[in-house]
Homo-oligomer: A and B are copies of this chain.
Amino acid sequence: MAFILTFLGKGGTGKTTLAIAAAKEFASQGQRVLLAGQSSGPGLGLLLETPLEADPKTIAPNLQVVQLQTSVLLERNWETLKEHEAQYLRSPFLKSVYGQELGVLPGMDSALALNAIREYDAKGNYDVIVYDGLGDQTTLRMMGMPEILSWYLRRFREVFDNSGIGSILAPFVQPFLSSVLQVGVSGDSIAQPTNQAQNILEKGRQAIADPNRIAAYLLTTPDPLAIAQAKYLWGAAQQVGLTVGGVLLNYLDVSVTEISEMLILPEFSPLPVRSIPYRMVDNWEPLQAALPNFREAIQVPRPITIDVAAQTVSLFLPGFDKKQVKLIQSGPEITIEAGDQRRNLYLPPELSGRSATGAKFHDDYLTISL
């Protein structure tokens, strides 16, 4: 299992540069690294001074790089899906549609990239995967996908089961889910593939919630807009269960003195803040030397802490004030709304199904009594 690292921050704060520096540093320490670029623009390739491809290529000892191209991933996944369809369905109907003609719709970039990272991770060839994504809400939506998709599956399966539609749709949903998940199932039941899907999503959710597996770091310049955006993304990351391990303060302009570090420290407390020097052309060493130990993300507050004995759930929601956080109890689970994200609390069996009896927001923590 690889350690997956990504950077969040306003555009132009140097996310791609830092992703390269981190990848180089891990590789120089003897870790087997995959640098996976998502943005389809030329940025990463230009900074690395090499053309990128849709499959990993070695660019230095221990260091491979890949460009996650959505159209290619879509084509490959479609062909696999068709193979599975032919295997599981008596009269396959998708075989006449070709992967090469499929256009890219919104959301496919994130879904396919997350799946590609999962597959690279599962191969066991890498100790570290550095994901250079858009580093904004888009990356958070991607990281939130396992938990949220799992909720949709849980909730709508219940609804469909109760309405009797499940049994009608099963013959179509089953091969589709089997194919997307690339798991073999037999029979016509909708239960087996949805359970398999839940297993995969649950593994993804657990990985994202575990800072030993996946961590994000904030990137900002001394610009107040960049600081505000980093702070916002910090809070929004908690809402998808992603641990933010620290802040990197990138001096894009050599004329800015280190005084700004003192200014931003209190904004991001209790996160460690690390200053990153201005990068001179082709000299990556000073940047690499300035990097923190990214594995120390385990020392910061977790997005969610569930205390079964005390019957409380505690959510770390930095960067928001009381008015920006909403607690909703309309469905069977408790919903937290903040940062244009909704999180449905999936509780352990002991607390499952309970309503909130009280809630308070204090010192960046929302504590809910059940």
Contact = CB atoms under 8 A, between A and B. Distances in A.
B104 A342 contact: yes
A111 B141 CA distance: 14
Nearest to A91: B163
A13 interface: yes
Given A148-B104, A228-B42, A10 B10 contact: no
Interface in A132-155: 134, 136-138, 141-142, 144-145, 147-149, 151-152, 155
A97 B155 contact: yes
Nearest to A333: B101
A145 B104 CA distance: 8
Among the interface residues A163, A228, A340, which one has the most CB atoms of the partner chain B within 10 A?
A: A340
Given A10-B41, A101-B328, A71 B340 contact: yes
A130 B94 CA distance: 40
Interface string A267-309: 0000000000000000000000000000000000000000000
A343 interface: yes
Contact of A152 (B39, B103, B330): B103
Interface stretch (A188-196, A202-210, A229-237): A229-237
A253 to B, nearest CB: 8
28 contacts: A10-B12, A10-B41, A11-B11, A11-B13, A40-B137, A40-B340, A41-B232, A43-B229, A46-B225, A71-B342, A93-B162, A96-B159, A97-B156, A98-B330, A100-B337, A101-B155, A101-B333, A101-B344, A103-B152, A103-B341, A104-B144, A105-B141, A105-B145, A106-B109, A107-B108, A107-B110, A138-B138, A168-B168
Interface of A: 10-13, 39-43, 46-47, 69-71, 91, 93-94, 96-98, 100-111, 134, 136-138, 141-142, 144-145, 147-149, 151-152, 155-156, 159-160, 162-163, 165, 168-169, 172, 224-225, 228-229, 232-233, 236, 253, 328, 330-331, 333, 335, 337, 339-344
